[in-house]
Structure 1
């Protein structure tokens, strides 16, 4: 089977831009997708993608089209073992979600493939395999603390198995079926959150009498000691930025930091994590189990009579987050908000009946969201297991669907896998 360098498959590659944050002559509005936006865009969330103004003459060669791939070429995190080389496939449903042209950010590169030789999504799955296997790290160098992906070296050195197009498309069909189900689950979770955030704002934004938020929520409450032999541990990287569910955690002997239990909310208190929205709802522990996490978390817990999801939506609320950001203190780049300062906040007194109704709806939604996320983790594990096998040609493919003959009967034909 032919293995070809990516250079022979790419027909257009262009670095991204960043433009300016204001309207000036000769510039047009664009949406700029960063590597940090890949997961959100893949799940249908485009609101956090920056809108900028780019020089008009630079938009056309950078403008993203359906079938393009965006490749992260700078960034990564050596501390977390995360290399550059993450990628995003731009399917036909991505661009209509934006009201302006889309370009990649300056730390990304637009890559366009020759569809007569390679199915673009098949080439994308080759990049996913490169990243998940760790091969992307082979093309990195370090510059002033930032990892840089050597794109030219990658084009010549990274080889992709290129079977006939019909086989490529069958491989894509298997992998995209898993990805599409993951995406559907993520979109349902996003819809739940948007509806409940709107309800929370209506519940707490009616004006009138207000109470200290500490009447409803405890900040860094006392929590039982974790098992000294080992306990679940959540680091800052695992805290989501847009949705409640925490997708990953590890186990380790407790060594200080924050303590929490099911029903608690974790709020990042340090810059830029607070500004970026890092917040998560804890629902993955065993009953009465205590977990630990980063010392840069503030733990929020509902007081008696308050739904456990209430602190989570408080932490997501723009009014509260703005208050917390304004209360940050410390040296540039290492600013934090203390739990005491974050708790110095007043909130409109929620009507008890409406609060109870909100709790019922939020509880049912969060139970469904947790089930969807459990399914997502299983699907992701399956996809990441079969991906390298399919790309290497080691995993047999399902037989192609039989064609219909002119009289309407099925023609079984033959298969290269028989």
Structure 2
């Protein structure tokens, strides 16, 4: 089977831009996708993608089209073992979500493939296999503390197995079916969150009077000690920025830090994690199990009679977050808010019946969201197991069965009785 360098398959490659942060003569508005936006865009969330102003003459050469791939070529995170080389496939439903032309950020590269030779999404899966296998790190070098992906070296050295297009498309059909279901799950979770945030905001409108938030929510509540032999541990990197579910954790002997249990909310208190929205709802523990986490978490817990999801949506509320950010103190780049200052906040007293209805609705939604996350983890495991097998050719998909002509038609669809 033919293995070809990516240089033979790439029709066009162009670096991205960053433009200006305000309207400027000769510039036009664009959406600029960064490597940090890949996961959100893949899940249908585009609100965090920066809107910038780029020179009009530079927009069209960089403009992203359906079927393009964006490749992260600078950045990464050595501390988290994350190399450059992440990729995003631009499917047909991505660009309509933006109100402006889309370009890659300056730390990314737009890659367009020769589709007479290779299916663009098949080439993307080759890049994903390269990243997940760790081969992407082979093309990195370090410059002034930033990891850089050596694109020219990659083009010549990274080989892709290129079977006939029909075989490529069968592989794409299998992998993309898994990806599409994962994306659907993510979009359902996002829709739940948006609806429940609106319902939470309505509680304030229908309530009466204000009270200290501590009458409804405990901040850093007392929690039993975790198991000495090992307990679930959540680090800052595991906290999501847009949704509730915490998708990854480890297990280790407790060594201090925050303590929490199911139904608690974890709020990042340090810059820039607080500003970026790092917040998570704990629902993955066994009954009565205590977990530990970063010392940079504030733990929020609902008081008796308050739905456990209430503190989570409080932590997502713009007014509360703005209050917490204003209370941050410390040296530049290491500012943080302490729990007492974050708790110095007044909240509208919700109508009890509406609060109970919100709790019932949120409880059912969070149960479904947890089930979707479990399914998504299983789908991701299956996809990432199949990916190297299919891309290497170790696993061969069977050819499609011949068309069934028992209905009285030939393979072209014409009646054999005419």
Task: Compute the TM-score of the two structures, normalised by the length of structure 2.
Answer: 0.96
- The alignment status of 1:257 with 2:227, answered yes or no, reads no
Aligned to 2:51: 51
- The alignment status of 1:408 with 2:409, answered yes or no, reads yes
Give distance in 2, aligned partners of 1:354 and 1:398: 56
**Aligned 8 A contact 2:206 2:351 in 1:** no
Aligned to 1:301: 301
Q: The residue matched to 1:284 in structure 2 has which SS?
A: coil
Give distance in 2, aligned partners of 1:362 and 1:374: 18
1:343 Cα deviation from its structure 2 partner: 0.7
Aligned to 1:76: 76
1:401 Cα deviation from its structure 2 partner: 4.5
Aligned to 2:277: 277
Q: The residue matched to 1:353 in structure 2 has which SS?
A: helix
Q: The residue matched to 2:285 in structure 1 has which SS?
A: coil
Give distance in 2, aligned partners of 1:403 and 1:61: 44
**Aligned 8 A contact 2:207 2:351 in 1:** no
Aligned to 1:178: 178
Aligned to 1:26: 26
Q: The residue matched to 2:383 in structure 1 has which SS?
A: helix
Q: The residue matched to 2:80 in structure 1 has which SS?
A: coil
Give distance in 2, aligned partners of 1:87 and 1:134: 13
After TM superposition, list the pairs within 5 Å mapping 1:47-126 onto structure 2: 47-126=47-126
1:206 Cα deviation from its structure 2 partner: 4.8
Residues 109-162 of structure 1, C-alpha deviations (whole Å, 9 max, x = no match): 111100000000000000000000000100111122211111111111111000
Aligned to 1:360: 360
1:408 Cα deviation from its structure 2 partner: 2.2
Give distance in 2, aligned partners of 1:325 and 1:401: 61
Give distance in 2, aligned partners of 1:398 and 1:187: 32
- The alignment status of 1:189 with 2:189, answered yes or no, reads yes
1:391 Cα deviation from its structure 2 partner: 0.1
Aligned to 1:157: 157
Q: The residue matched to 1:12 in structure 2 has which SS?
A: strand
1:402 Cα deviation from its structure 2 partner: 2.9
Give distance in 1, aligned partners of 2:204 and 2:398: 54
Aligned to 2:167: 167
1:304 Cα deviation from its structure 2 partner: 0.6
Aligned to 1:416: none
Task: Compute the TM-score of the two structures, normalised by the length of structure 1.
Answer: 0.96
Give distance in 2, aligned partners of 1:408 and 1:191: 45
**Aligned 8 A contact 2:129 2:387 in 1:** yes
1:382 Cα deviation from its structure 2 partner: 0.5
Give distance in 2, aligned partners of 1:170 and 1:337: 52
Residues 199-257 of structure 1, C-alpha deviations (whole Å, 9 max, x = no match): 10111245751111111111111111010100111111111111001111111111111
Give distance in 2, aligned partners of 1:8 and 1:403: 35
Aligned to 1:414: none
1:407 Cα deviation from its structure 2 partner: 5.0
| Backbone CA RMSD of aligned residues | 1.3
Aligned to 2:334: 334
Give distance in 1, aligned partners of 2:332 and 2:8: 46
Give distance in 2, aligned partners of 1:338 and 1:205: 28
1:403 Cα deviation from its structure 2 partner: 3.2
Give distance in 2, aligned partners of 1:221 and 1:391: 50
Q: The residue matched to 2:160 in structure 1 has which SS?
A: strand
1:409 Cα deviation from its structure 2 partner: 5.0
Q: Aligned pair in 2 of structure 1 residues 16, 207: CA closer, same or farther (>3 Å)?
A: farther
Aligned to 2:268: 268
Aligned to 1:35: 35
Give distance in 2, aligned partners of 1:169 and 1:330: 55
After TM superposition, list the pairs within 5 Å mapping 1:209-248 onto structure 2: 209-248=209-248
Tell me the matched-pair count.
411
Aligned to 2:415: none
Q: The residue matched to 1:79 in structure 2 has which SS?
A: helix
| Structure 2 stretches lacking a partner, 5+ long | 413-418
Residues 259-279 of structure 1, C-alpha deviations (whole Å, 9 max, x = no match): 110000011111111111111
Residues 304-339 of structure 1, C-alpha deviations (whole Å, 9 max, x = no match): 100000000011111111111111111111111111
Give distance in 1, aligned partners of 2:220 and 2:201: 24
